Every structure is written in C-alpha cells, then in structure tokens.
Structure 1
Amino acid sequence: MEIPNINHFSTQGASGGPVGIINADLIREVNFYTGAFPAERGNAMSSVLDFKLRDGDLEKNSLKATLGASEASLTSNGHLSEKTTYLVSLRQSYLQFLFKALGLPFLPTYTDAQFKLKTRFNEANELTLLGLAGIDNMRLNKDAEEEDAQYILGYLPKIQQETFTVGGVYKHYAGHHVQSLVLSHSYLNNRNTKYLNNDESNAEMLSLKLRSKEQETKLRVENSSVWGNTRLSYGANMEYAQYGNRTYQKRFTGSEQVVNYRTWIDMIKWGAFVKATYESDDDRFSASLGLRTDANNYSSEMRDLSEQLSPRLSVSYQLSKGFFLSGSIGLYYQLPAYTMLGFKDNNGEFVNKTNLRFMSVSQKNIGLSWQINNQVELSAEGFYKDYDRIPYSIVDGIPMACKGNDYGVVGNEAVSSTAQGRSYGVEFMLKWIVAQKLNLSSSLTLFKSEYRNTKNDPYIASAWDNRFILNMSGTYNLPRNWSIGAKISAIGGAPYTPYDVQKSSLVTAWDAQAKPYYDYSKFNTERADHYAALDVRVDKTYYIGRYMLGFYLDVQNITGSKFKEPDAIVSTGVVENPSAPRAEQRYVMKYIKQESGTVLPTIGVTFEF
C-alpha cells in the first residue's frame, strides 16, 4: 500500500520532514532502493522505501509502553482470534516543553497512530487492513530571547497538519499464482499562517494564509506467477486525486505584490507494469526485466502512455564464492507536485498547465559485493543519474529541486519543465553482524550533484552537492542485559547562494517575507563547512517473569558539534531614509551568526508485558 507522506511537519510539494510517523517497533524489514526500482513501484525518481511490517503474535498478546523526554508511546501486539492478528501503536510527543527549555523559536507537538490487522481466512485467502495517521502543530515561542531565535521567529509560520493513509490488501494464493487487490485512501491537510512581527491583533499585518488539501484514492490489481526458475508479474492501477488550495501571500518580485487565489483540480491517473525475473538453479545468476508506464488527464501532454514508457533491467552474477557483480539500468518518471499542477495566478488561470511534463531520470548502476562469511559483507557501487524535464522556477531562475529544505510549501509559483541535472559517484558499505553480540553498519558515499536550467547552460552545483556522506552505526550487547550503541554522522559542506543585500534591505521586500533574499545570479557559488556529530545510547533491561522493564540514556550530539551556516543579514527595524517614498525606503541591516547544535540528553523507561 502506497503511503505518500511518512513524516511529521513535511514540506508540501517536497519530500522529507524532521520526524518519522512510522513506529520502528512495528517494522520487520526495510528495503531501500536508490536505483533499479521494481516495475510495480511507480512515480519515483530518486528512491523507494519498501517497509514490511511484522505480523501480530498468534500465541500471546503483549503491551509495550515507553516514556522518554520527548514522547510517550504505547504499542500492542497479538491476536483477536485464531485467524486474525493485530499490531497497533500510539505516540504522543511533548517536544514543546523540551524546546521551550532550550529557548528554541518553535514549539512542535505531534501525535501519530498506526495499525495492522491481518486475517487468514484459509490457506488460499487473506486480508490485511492498514492505517497510518499523524497530527502536527507547530506554535511559535515568542519568549525566545536569543538573536538568532528572534530572526527565525520573524519568518517562520505557524504550521498545522493532519495526514492519514488507510486501506486494505487482499491476496489470493492459487498454487503457482498469487493475485493481489489493493485499495487505499490518503489525505493531507496543511495550514500555514504568518503575521508580520507576529502581530495577530492587526489583520493588515497578515503576510501568509495558506489552506491546502490533497487526497488520493488508489486501486491496484496484480498477479504473480512462477514457472520453474522464472517469475512473471503484471498489474494495473487507477487513481483519483484531488488538490485544493486557498492562498493569500505577500511577495516581492521586483515590486510589492499580493498573491491571492483559490484553486481546485481533480485528476484521474492510470498505469500498468509487467516484470519477469529469473534465477539460475545454482543461484549464481539472476536477472529482472520490467516495463512500466503511467499517464493522467491533467493535460494533453500527460495523457499518452507511450510518452512515459519506463524500461528497467537489473542483473547479478556470482564471480566466485562470496563475490557478486551486479548492475542495473532504467528510465523512471515522476509527476510534479500538486502545488505546481494546481497553481493559479490572481486572474484564476492555471499558469503551469502547458509548461509541465512528467519528470524523468535515467539511472545506471554497477556494483561489487564480497560476503566474507556469514558475519561480514563489503560492497562498492558506482552510479550515474541523468535528470530531465525538472521544473524550473521562472521567478528565481533555479530548479525547484534546489528548494524545499525549509518548512512550509514549495512549488506554488510559475514553473517550466526545462531544467536538467546529474548525480554521479560511488558508495562503499560495510556490514558486520555477530548474532546476539554486535551489529555494525557503515556507509561512505562520494558524489557530485549538479543542475542546469536548460540543456544549453553549463552545469552548476545543486543544493544537495555535499560531495560526501559518512554514516556509521552499531550496537554491542554486554553481559547482564546491558547494551551500548553509537552513531557517527559526517557530511560535506553544502553549497549556498550569497544574499542580495540591496534587495533585502528594501522595506517592501523585507516586510513581505521577513528574511533576506538570495542573489540567484551567484547561485551556489559559496560552500559551507563540513559537519560531524556523535550520538550515544546505553540500555539496561530487566526481565521479571513475563514482564520486561528497560531504562535508557540517549545523548544526541555528545560532541557538542555546531552546524554553521552563513551569517544572516537581518533588519534592525530602523528605516534609514524615512522621508523617501515607501518603494525606496530601506532598513538599516545587520549580520547575525547562524549556527545550531546542542548536546541533547534523553532518559527513558520502557515497560512490556
């Protein structure tokens, strides 16, 4: 079942979010595809996360309660009958108290819940019901006194979000054939509100009021058949999507403007796939060949299935004992965000209707893995990704993929599908597992990420061009039910764009968004410093009969590392030329230091029976 949003406080129109909705206690397995996406998984360009949840316990019912410094959670696992099992989770955060104590400018709270009900009617038929929901509320901490906190308070909106996905998966097992029917519905309600100087008592100070909803109802049918060493899968999907938006926003694009529009679109999407996989008798060779296509009725350019033909091929061969060579190649498509598809100007016209196309990426991967023994595995993989038809911001003159790293909304502006990009590099991975003792995983990725506005322009560094990412995490089990875990994260400095000081100092410009403007003529010509941090966790568990009591100490950023950003130029609130016409008035500006990072200890208690 497809879940469009798995994060709290997500940026509408972009991926990501600071906190995951899915409770890790319910997860059995995660497959993370950065290439060679299975043909049955559509509408993805960069990656696909495939979560497999645990089944409930048919033997006993259990309840687990966890109390930490930032959230409380309840998880239950068990059976309702001899044929029906369940998993259920409920979490409530109280981050606002911790953030208020730290003097941070925003006070987030969230609630989430999820469930899985699985009924095995007989050996041939089963039904799984799934649900996931999140409620987010981010208020502003007007008592924050630090200068950088006051700066963030100046532009950060109040954010309220509700999201859920619910549906069912029916499977029929008929010998060598398995049929699946999947029906689901997803919903997102996003509300952003901002007043200049956070003065909500004066309606004229309103600078942003956004009310936006997305809904998707999806139906998918699949069949998978096995003949000897070959598996053939095929299927089709149909989707009905709705997007609505009411936006009032003050902007500055050379002059003071007000964007005020309502929009509504409903779309029908459809697609189909076929995939064949083969494994040799000696397990030395395997191959997968797939073809997918998708279309919709948004515009005449997106209706034709032949325009989005998405072939993909992956192979693996065992060179010798423990050594495997693998490779893949594929062309993938993704629909632009609803915020772009539904954007209207003040005259009520769909600005992007004739300018948008499916985004595409051509991916090539080749890798070598070495399974030294049952405990240690090493691998290296080289990749090249070639992006095309990426939405390009007409106002700012940069690809939309280089936006979307902040709260709020991305894509509600005029765009055109003309930008291109490429990303290439190599990733090294090490896994070391000693049963009941050690679990170590590490990865190092060396890469470049570049974009250009049209095929005739030179490539420049994208917003994601950090050049390297290092992650190392592991846990070690000690005697008497003690365990210690650690995670080291390091990332190269990201490129950034200098501020446009002249534009930012204009009173009309600053009052529109309360933060500085970038000089996009110098897009990503500067680069920030590298960053690294160490997190440590210690657990102690007691077992008393059928009860389990656990305590943990988790210290994030124990090294006290500081993530440094370029100094921000901000308004002092003083107009240096008050006698000039408003369009020519300028604020006296100043620079403030921008860095974040604090030692964050958490003490928690877990009880299970």
Structure 2
Amino acid sequence: MSVRLEKTIIAGWLICQLLTVAAIAQNRTPGGNIKGTVTDRETHAALVGANVLLTGTGNGASTDADGNFVILDVPAGNYTLQFSYLGYEPFAQTDVIVKPGRSTFVDASLKISAVSAAEVTVSGGYFSQNDNQPVSSTGFSAEEIRRAPGSAGDVSRILMSLPAVAKVNDQSNSLIVRGGSPTENAFFVDNIEIPNINHFPTQGSSGGPIGLLNVDFIESVNFAAGGFSAAHGNRLSSVMEIEFREGNRDGLEAQLDLNFAGFGGIAEGPLPGNRGSWLLSVRRSFLDLLVDALDAGTDIAPRYGDVQGKLVFDINPSHQLQLLSITGDDHSESDLETARDNDMLAFGTQDYLENTGGINWRAIWGGHGYSNTSLAFTANRWEEDYRETVSDAQIVQNRSQENVAKFRNINYLRLSPKHALEFGIDAKYFFNDYRNVYGDYTDVLGNPVPGATLDSDFSAQSVGGFLSYVAKPAAKLTATLGVRTDYFSVGEQVQLSPRLALDYQLSERTSFSFATGVYRQQLPLLMLAQNPQLHDLDSPEATHFVFGTKYLLTENTRLSLEFYQKNYRHFPVDPTQPGLFLVDELYYGYGFFLNHSTVAGNAKALSRGVELLIQKKLVEKVYGLASASYFTSRYQNPGENWRNRVFDNRFTFSVEGGFKPNNRWEFSLRWIYAGGAPYTPFDLTTSRAQRRGVLDANRINTAQYPDYHSLNVRFDRRFLLQHTNIIFYLSVWNAYNRKNVAQYFWNATENAPDAISQWTLLPIFGLEVEF
C-alpha cells in the first residue's frame, strides 16, 4: 500500500470515528417530510388523485387538485416511492433520501399506459422513456449521479460506464459517443444550451478536464446517444438534457462541501410569499495543495472556481419563470522547466472566463400541452499563450471572445389520446472577436507551416424550426415522424433534416425500437473565422440508423441491446495533410485548432457497432450497471484509403455497482476495460534528424496503445444528526495502480520515443455538511 493511500485511509477512519461519536451523542433524530407533484409526462398537466406509496412502510398519500402531495414525519433514511394512476404506467423513484428535520422534494411524471391493466404484472415502473426518444436514451437520478464511483462529482464522467461512450484518457472527461468526437455533443440545462459544461474547455469542442456543473443542483439527467428527435439540431452524435432542481420552498438551508479538489457552499430558500425559490452555489479549487501532497504525476496546479444560481418564480399555477446563471473562472500556468519535467508538448498560460445566463418561461396549457421558451446569452473569453516545449517557439497567442444570444421555444400539443404534435423554433446570433497570432511551426508530419494572424470580428446567424408528429396507430405501437429546417448565414446554407422513430411494446417485459435521421452540425466558429474557404463547403452531416430491444429481467433490472450505424460526410480536409482527419486535430496535435492556409471538403467517416447494457436500480440494498460494446470508427479523405479514427478503441467493458447495507453505509466500485486507441508511430529517422516527433505518414493510426483498464472504489458514510446531515466519502481511483498510456511523445533529451502515463493511484475524500 502506498504511503499517500495509507495516510488518506487513516484520516478518513479518524473523521468517521469523530462523526460517529457526535451522532451517538445526539437524541433521537427527527423525521423529515416528502413533498412533490405528479403530472402527465406528455402534457405536464397535474394528475389529481394519484396514489403515492412509500415502499416498505404503511405511509402514503394522494395528490390534491394541483397534483401536489405530502408525506409527513418520515424516519430519516433511503426509500423508494411508488406512483400509480388509473390508465397510466406505474413509476418508481428510487434513492429518495429523507433527512432529519428537512423536506425532500420528489416530482414524478407518469406516462399513459400502452398495455391493458390486465397485462401489468411485472413492471414496477423503475424504467421509463419518452415516446419521441425510444432508442439510445439513459437517465440518471440525482442520487445516482452523486454517489457514482470514479466521477468526482463530474456528470460527464458518470457516463463513462455507458456502452455508447468510449474510454480514452483519465485526464479528460470528453464524451466520445459512438465513434464521434467531443465536438459533436450538445448540452442543455433547463431548456438553455450550454456550449461546454467543463472548466478549462477546449475551444471549438465540448470537452475538458474538470466538470463545471454542481451535481448537487442536478435533479435528473437524460442522455441520448443517437437517433434523437427533431427538437435538437446542430449536433452529430449526442444530446444531454439536464434539469436543475428548485431551491427549498419550506425554509432556509445551507450546505458546506470540502474535498481534495476544493471547497464550496450552497444556500437555498423560498421567495417572499412562497411564490418560488432560489438556489446559489459558490466553489473554489485548491488543486495546488493536492498536487504537492500526493505527487499525482504532474506539477501543474490549475486554479478554478464557479458560481451557479437558479431562481424560480410562480406567476400562477400554470406559468413559471426560471432564471439560470452558470459562471466559470479558470487559470493555469506552466513554464518550460515544468513542461520538460512533465513531458508536455506545449506550455504557457491560460485564463478563461465563461458565463451563460438566461430565463425560461414554462407554460402549461390545461390538459392539452405545454411550452418552454428561453432567452439566454453566453459569453466566453480566452487569453492563452502557448509555446512549443522542444524549441521554445511560439505556437499561438489566443485572444478570443465568443458570444451568442439565443432563443429557444419548444411546444407540445396533444390532439387526442392517439395523436400529438411537438414543434418549435430556435435562433442564435453569434458575435465573436478573434485577435490571434500563430507562430511558425512544424506540423505533426514534419511540414513547416508559416505563421499567421487572425484579426477578425466574426458574426453569424442561425435559425431552425422543427415539427414532429406522434401517432399511436395501434395500442402497442408509437411512431414519431419529424423534420427540421436550419438556416446558417455562413455560406447561406438551408438544410432539411428528416427524423423517424418507432417503438413497439410487444409485452410489458419486451419492446423493440428503431430510429433514423439526418443530423447536421456547423464547423467550430474559430475554424470558420480562420479559413474563409470553409464558408462555401457543406456543413458536416451524419445519418443515423439505430435498432434496439429492451427486456425486463425483473421489475428493477433491464437489459438493452442496440445496433447502430452512422454515415458521415462533408468533413473538411487539409491537402497538405492528406492522411489526417482535420476535425480530430484537437486530439492528435497540441490540443487546439491551428491555422490551415488551404482547406478543401468532402471527407467522410463511418461508425457502426453493437451495445449491451444491463441496469439494476437500487432495491433491497444492491444496485449495478454492466455494459459492453464492440464498434469501429473510420474515415476516408478524398483519394485516400479508409483509416481508423483516433478514438476507435474497438471494444469496451464496464461493471459498476454498489451495496447499501443500511442508511449509514454504502460501498461501490467501477471497473472499466477498453481496447487501446489507435495512434500513428513516429518516423524514427526523420524524428531523430529533427530532434522532434514526426509521425509516419505511411502508417497513420495503424498502431494501437495498450489496452486500458482501471478500478475505482468508494465508500460513503452518512451521519444523521439532530438537525444536520453529514456525508463523508473516500474514493480511490486506479486502485491497483495500472500504468495506462495516455500518449507517446518524442523525448527531446533522449532523442527517442517515450510514454506519458494517465493518472496513477489517486485517493480522494470529501465531506458534505447539510444544515
């Protein structure tokens, strides 16, 4: 056992003992309350008289005329709530945590049943889906997100256990979905699009190293890995929809958080007159202390912080305003000596500021439907200066400001029990400012590239609209036919994107689904500003085909099997790098887009695979998730052979689960095994002559890194005091200290290839105090 792990375990044991003594010293802990609302999933209308049962107890309630319910004086602990209503599918919400002297809020939406009441014998309602997203969709509750091993409170890392997400590098939480790249994913929080949900985001991409969102704000997450509806445009691979919870309407509450990465706090409470609530979070890192104490494989100590808030105001029972603000502030600095000591290709300073703020109006139109209408603004500021480690030459001076004002409207209208429409529009106005200097550099193939200056006020507009028709022509069949039209002012492009989804409920246990559609995405605005030649090219496009089946093994365990294919086209190409896939430059180069003087179009790509997922909800002390996938992801530039994309690690296998013997203790683990991702070997002769890494243009992505595998373990200890709830957790990443390779680089000192390892064994603890 390493010294740092031993010290962390001892410290954790001492903290647990002290908190246990404090808990024993308290009198009987008071009970808590459970409150919430039950609504129709399609129209969001309140369901009057719905039954709510606290499983394992005699307690329950029925909803009132506004769909509200309350269960009083529930002993502190972990429960499952069962919801039922005549003509609707039952629904079960697991992981309902009742805390001493506090109210827990649980909202449920029920779906009209596709099978008769006589057939409802197996399902307990632990799994649910939307009619317009029958394939490739997975949801997580707030508690499932909080406790996930190996996530460190990062919602993106939680998804690494899913078969649709490839595992590439511990240092990044970038989502590689079904052979795509991190540039291809969209994120929405309360109907407002967030360009990137990470600290230190990669410009032009959705990836980054550290999550920005506070998971204690999250009520639910729904992740669609393909075949998503016409409501979403301008993304090729995936959509993540996140709902932030409301603040406590019963009284003021606070929470203090402390962990190895930083500290923070949450405050929440009601608005005057109980017409709404507010929720505020402030966090700040102290990673410099973590790096010094643990020798975690790097001397770099980035500093970052964030402020997040949500305010809800009830205009009346049917109309509500939601104000949202998310701000991140990031700083990192490394010098030449640090870069050489840590095998970095580049070094320098990075200062980044991001903010998204907006308002969403939620309107419920009786029992017929609802609308969500948002108006928001996002501002991003980059100040970066990077130099090449091997030569100390300037790579880039980045002074970018990217701003976008955006409007989004989504409407749902139930025409009859068998027919419905979903429709809406979205619009964006981009106004960016680029004052960038690119130094002379040698590209990865050894070609000299002259320097360039980007001095541009770049603006653009986009407008999109969609219409989806949902029909139930038979009792067990649901069909969704959709179409979207998008206009983008760069190149004056007007694009039509049809979508189709089918879902057949063979029985209560078994369903089959199919989805197909055309998906398009604008190139990153920085690339468009750098290269006017790109303005006349078609935007990248992907056609999805997904077929899947779901089978309930038990009422709380489900098996899902899916087959998919994605046909890509219209990707840009740099003729001076004919074998490289340009949009993957972020991941085979320095980590950012460089200038390219000549760009053409019409590269294509292909991804196909099969995925298996078995998910068990927390019932009777045990929960778990097991997944496996096999896939290929390839590309072809004009006149070139098909090649592997940089994230094509072919197969992944993941097991995640936990054991909760009582309301105080919880033990969990996650083990991931994945094939090695492709890489391009060095041209040894040229590299030695130039004393820098030069890739072999004849062997692009023909070699593979060693297979990846890692074990993360975690335990949680909950202390229920008189008026305080305390959670202490200890997690160990890479528990058996596997030396996974992050990348190969050219060691200038040795003038030979060398390897950079991913994270070694890393213990992490945290303390959450709610009062």
Query: SS at the partner of 1:35?
Result: coil
> 1:259 is matched with which residue?
452
1: distance between equivalents of 2:682 and 2:318?
63
**Paired residue type of 2:442:** F
The structure with the greater share of residues assigned to strand is: 1
Alignment of 1:454-465 (within 5 A): 454=638, 457-465=640-648
> 2:157 is matched with which residue?
none
Q: Does 1:291 align with 2:483?
A: yes
Match of 1:26 among 207, 210, 217: 217
Q: Does 1:539 align with 2:729?
A: no
> 2:239 is matched with which residue?
48
> 2:100 is matched with which residue?
none
Q: Deviation string for 1:3-40 (max 9, x for gaps)?
A: 11111112112231111111111111111111121211
Alignment of 1:482-493 (within 5 A): 482-493=665-676
Pick which of 79-88 and 161-170 moved more.
79-88
> 1:243 is matched with which residue?
432
- Check whether the contact 1:11–1:407 (CA below 8 A) recurs between aligned residues: no
**Paired residue type of 1:594:** I
Q: Does 1:568 align with 2:745?
A: yes
Distance 1:189 1:39, change over 3 A: same
1:54 is displaced (CA, Å) by: 1.5
**Paired residue type of 2:371:** Q
Distance 1:607 1:216, change over 3 A: same
Distance 1:196 1:177, change over 3 A: closer
Distance 1:227 1:191, change over 3 A: same
> 1:582 is matched with which residue?
none
Query: SS at the partner of 2:401?
Result: strand
Query: SS at the partner of 2:248?
Result: coil
TM-score, length of structure 2 as denominator length: 0.70
2: distance between equivalents of 1:390 and 1:224?
35
> 2:527 is matched with which residue?
340
1:105 is displaced (CA, Å) by: 4.1
Distance 1:408 1:187, change over 3 A: farther
Distance 1:542 1:179, change over 3 A: closer
- Check whether the contact 2:542–2:569 (CA below 8 A) recurs between aligned residues: yes
1: distance between equivalents of 2:275 and 2:595?
48
Match of 2:355 among 155, 164, 168: 164
1: distance between equivalents of 2:283 and 2:434?
30
Q: Does 1:466 align with 2:649?
A: yes
2: distance between equivalents of 1:411 and 1:257?
11
- Check whether the contact 1:107–1:141 (CA below 8 A) recurs between aligned residues: no
- Check whether the contact 1:339–1:412 (CA below 8 A) recurs between aligned residues: no
Q: Deviation string for 1:536-576 (max 9, x for gaps)?
A: 1111111111201222111111110111256432323xxxx
- Check whether the contact 1:294–1:309 (CA below 8 A) recurs between aligned residues: yes
2: distance between equivalents of 1:320 and 1:129?
42
2: distance between equivalents of 1:594 and 1:319?
51
- Check whether the contact 2:195–2:206 (CA below 8 A) recurs between aligned residues: no
Q: Deviation string for 1:308-365 (max 9, x for gaps)?
A: 1111111111122301101101111110101111005xxxxx34333x3211000000
**Paired residue type of 1:415:** V
- Check whether the contact 1:400–1:411 (CA below 8 A) recurs between aligned residues: no
1:464 is displaced (CA, Å) by: 1.3
Alignment of 1:187-266 (within 5 A): 187-195=379-387, 206-229=394-417, 230-250=419-439, 251-252=441-442, 254-255=447-448, 257-266=450-459
Distance 1:205 1:340, change over 3 A: closer
Alignment of 1:362-511 (within 5 A): 362-397=543-578, 398-405=580-587, 408-410=591-593, 412-413=595-596, 414-435=598-619, 437-454=621-638, 457-479=640-662, 481-505=664-688
1:163 is displaced (CA, Å) by: 1.1
More RCO (CA 8 Å, sep 6+)? 2
- Check whether the contact 1:501–1:569 (CA below 8 A) recurs between aligned residues: no
- Check whether the contact 1:216–1:241 (CA below 8 A) recurs between aligned residues: yes
Distance 1:506 1:288, change over 3 A: same
2: distance between equivalents of 1:60 and 1:441?
37
2: distance between equivalents of 1:134 and 1:31?
23
Query: SS at the partner of 2:195?
Result: coil
Q: Deviation string for 1:29-73 (max 9, x for gaps)?
A: 111111121211111111111112212222233211110111212
2: distance between equivalents of 1:297 and 1:63?
47
Q: Does 1:589 align with 2:751?
A: yes
2: distance between equivalents of 1:526 and 1:534?
25
1:437 is displaced (CA, Å) by: 2.1
1:141 is displaced (CA, Å) by: 6.3
1:524 is displaced (CA, Å) by: 0.4
> 2:290 is matched with which residue?
98
Query: SS at the partner of 1:342?
Result: helix
- Alignment gaps of 5+ in structure 2: 1-191
- Alignment gaps of 5+ in structure 1: 345-349, 573-587
**Paired residue type of 1:595:** S
1: distance between equivalents of 2:547 and 2:229?
17
- Check whether the contact 2:254–2:267 (CA below 8 A) recurs between aligned residues: yes
Alignment of 1:266-277 (within 5 A): 266-277=459-470
> 1:576 is matched with which residue?
none
Distance 1:499 1:429, change over 3 A: same
1: distance between equivalents of 2:452 and 2:336?
27
1:445 is displaced (CA, Å) by: 1.4
1:231 is displaced (CA, Å) by: 1.9
2: distance between equivalents of 1:467 and 1:85?
47
Q: Deviation string for 1:284-328 (max 9, x for gaps)?
A: 22221110111121124x2xx2xx111111111112230110110
Identity %: 27
Distance 1:107 1:143, change over 3 A: farther
1:265 is displaced (CA, Å) by: 1.1
2: distance between equivalents of 1:372 and 1:112?
42
Alignment of 1:310-325 (within 5 A): 310-325=497-512
Query: SS at the partner of 2:223?
Result: strand
**Paired residue type of 2:332:** M
Q: Superposition RMSD on alpha carbons, in Å?
A: 2.4
**Paired residue type of 1:485:** S
Pick which of 531-540 and 410-419 moved more.
410-419
Query: SS at the partner of 1:157?
Result: strand
2: distance between equivalents of 1:173 and 1:567?
55
Q: How many residues align?
A: 568
Distance 1:562 1:234, change over 3 A: same
Pick which of 247-256 and 368-377 moved more.
247-256
- Check whether the contact 1:12–1:408 (CA below 8 A) recurs between aligned residues: no
Pick which of 52-61 and 543-552 moved more.
52-61
Match of 1:9 among 200, 204, 212: 200
Distance 1:51 1:211, change over 3 A: same
**Paired residue type of 1:409:** F
